[in-house]
Structure 1
């Protein structure tokens, strides 16, 4: 490979375990194995997932040129990924509001976001006073048009619908569980989730539910559908 001038890669490997103990290589071990690689920066992440009973090693060259970055964890090392348009997030630990601030800064041109996390947030933040406003940054997603929140705790639906935390663009496709959506919007009557809800133009709802005037009026600009078709 003496003629190779540039090598771009994205490698993600998993190992499953039951009751046996596994020892994944450390980030230091991984970095040392690339000590003679002089062309790009090498980023590595090592993760253990006890509930899923697996471990993961993710290694990629940076700058990152792919259009997707999947299964980002809380230990995401950051960076700027201008080529990425599709992002997914997964962890067995909660994603707090500060994590979403980092994600937006790293993926400023993100168009599709899928989130998998069953753990409730620990540090839920609300604007109740001027002091709260000073300590809470609103995350703006100017290019996000596809938001998948079906397989997640309802705290993350609230994270994206609260106008004190998130500013969505107009024309968003939102996929979400009905019971969670109803809870977060307080039966489609809550004011602080109304602004972002009005920016949804397609609402895909999972779970059994009956269409109501409250739902129609709350998502007044949205075409509403479930897994069986449009309502």
Structure 2
């Protein structure tokens, strides 16, 4: 869950659980509401949680803390805060974006989560230990570097169980001319979200990728129309099984234009369309 007031609401509740022996925390801290003034680290966990639980035997966690206009912190500083965790492996990732936000993700190993959010090119998705191989839901975000074709190829290998992919990146791919083959495949992907993207990512994932299980597509209107105009066979094949099609804005074109790509009745009206209809 997203914690809007970590310090004054969440921690006092947790600190009352003095008899807990097994604890799992999957948290986002600072997304909205009252944000902490620093990234959550090992010192915070020891001082504010572990010290209140004398019977604690196992503690698994994945905590993503978000700061606006953060001071720069070296990753080794966060790692050193976990030196006291001799009985457990822990790792972390820090990322800074051009939109003035920064985030730090700390997680126990083996990784227990099935969801990763706001993952950039700099996140260590592709380690040899297959740390994140059980992830089923992935949100990719980067406003510093584009996601190149090679990045998606590595994602498909690193996350074989991926079912939901959400891409947010407005930067044009730089290596797209080097890739003309359609050998990329996400065999278990059922949901693809392409609202806030450059056209290149729709071309990458709909025109040059095999998505045999895709049943839900959410996409920007203009990009959808551009993909349909190109009438590319791989895109038509990927869209032919879509049961739910959603668009970023109301789709004022006739739904008849969707017939060559999508099954009948797959389009779900945008909420604003219903509002205008009821006026």
| TM-score category of the 2 structures, normalised to the smaller one | 0.7 to 0.9
Q: TM-score with structure 1 length normalisation?
A: 0.81
Q: Count the aligned residue pairs.
A: 215
Cα distance, 1:91 vs structure 2: 1.0
Q: In the alignment, is the contact (CA less than 8 A) between 1:188 and 1:215 conserved in 2?
A: no
Gaps of 5+ in 2: 1-50, 275-279
Q: Does 1:201 align with 2:243?
A: yes
Work out which structure has the larger RCO, using CA pairs closer than 8 Å and 6 or more positions apart in sequence: 1
- Give the superposition deviation at 1:190: 2.8
TM-score (norm 2): 0.68
Relative to its length, the structure with more helix (as a share) is 2
What residue is the counterpart of 1:172 in the other structure? 215
Rounded Cα–Cα distance in structure 1 between residues aligned with 2:100 and 2:113: 28
In structure 2, relative to structure 1, the CA distance for the partners of 1:38 and 1:105 (3 Å cut) is farther
1:137-148 alignment to 2 at 5 Å? Answer: 138-148=183-193
Per-residue CA shift, 1:133-173, capped at 9, x if unaligned? 5xxx73322221111111222211111111xx311023420
Match of 2:224 in 1: 181
Q: Verify the 8 A CA contact 1:40 1:62 in the aligned structure 2.
A: yes
Structure whose CA Rg is larger: 2
Q: Which of 105, 130, 135 is equivalent to 1:84?
A: 135
* Unmatched segments (≥5 aa) in structure 1: none
Write the distance in 1 (CA, Å) between the matches of 2:88 and 2:155: 22
C-alpha RMSD of matched pairs (Å): 2.5
Stretch moving more, 53-62 or 4-13:
4-13
User: Which structure 1 residue ranges, 4+ long, deviate > 6 Å from structure 2?
Assistant: none
Q: Deviations over 1:46-75 (max 9, x none)?
A: 11112x112221111121112211111111
